[in-house]
Amino acid sequence: MAKNKRSPSPKQPPLDLPAVGPNQVIRLEPAAVLAAGNRVRLVDCRGSSERRVMAIVGSIAFDARRFEADNPNKRVPIVCVSWIGGRSLVAAYRLAKLGYRVYDLKGGIVAWKLKGYPTVRDF
């Protein structure tokens, strides 16, 4: 009986993010986050009214009460986002203490938008 052969998956370049230790958060430039693409999970730490104004394409809303249940794989890198990086840094340290590999978007969504990177309205 012939074995089913899976078609090869397209190769992605290695994820070139700095190593993060336990309880540690590293701030990443917007270009590094954009280059990582869908290999990181973008977590928007702002409120829903702020997300309706503007959000980064592919980001998810941060819900502290459900985050661990909704995101059990702690090996997937998390990038926290807020307007300029204040609230996201607080959330990032909170997630790092839970054992996640966490980064913070340096300069927040403002820096992202100034670079011309993709954003959407969240209606």
Q: Give me the number of domains the chain comprises.
A: 1
Question: Is 29 a domain residue?
Answer: no
Taking the C-alpha atoms of residue 117 and residue 17, their distance in angstroms, rounded to an integer, is 19
Question: Is 91 a domain residue?
Answer: yes
| Burial class of 119 by CB neighbour count within 10 A (0 to 12, 13 to 18, 19+) | middle
- Regions of the chain where pLDDT drops below 50: 1, 4-9, 122-123
Q: Which domain holds residue 112?
A: 45-67+75-123
Return the pLDDT at 8.
44
Q: Buried b / exposed e across 48-72, counting CB within 10 Å, b at 16+?
A: eebbeebbbeebbebeeeebeeebe
Question: Is 60 a domain residue?
Answer: yes
Return the pLDDT at 17.
84
Return the pLDDT at 122.
47
Return the pLDDT at 14.
64
Return the pLDDT at 15.
73
Please give the model's pTM, rounded to 2 decimal places: 0.84
Taking the C-alpha atoms of residue 53 and residue 50, their distance in angstroms, rounded to an integer, is 5
Return the pLDDT at 26.
95
Q: What is the CATH number of the domain that holds 58?
A: 3.40.250.10
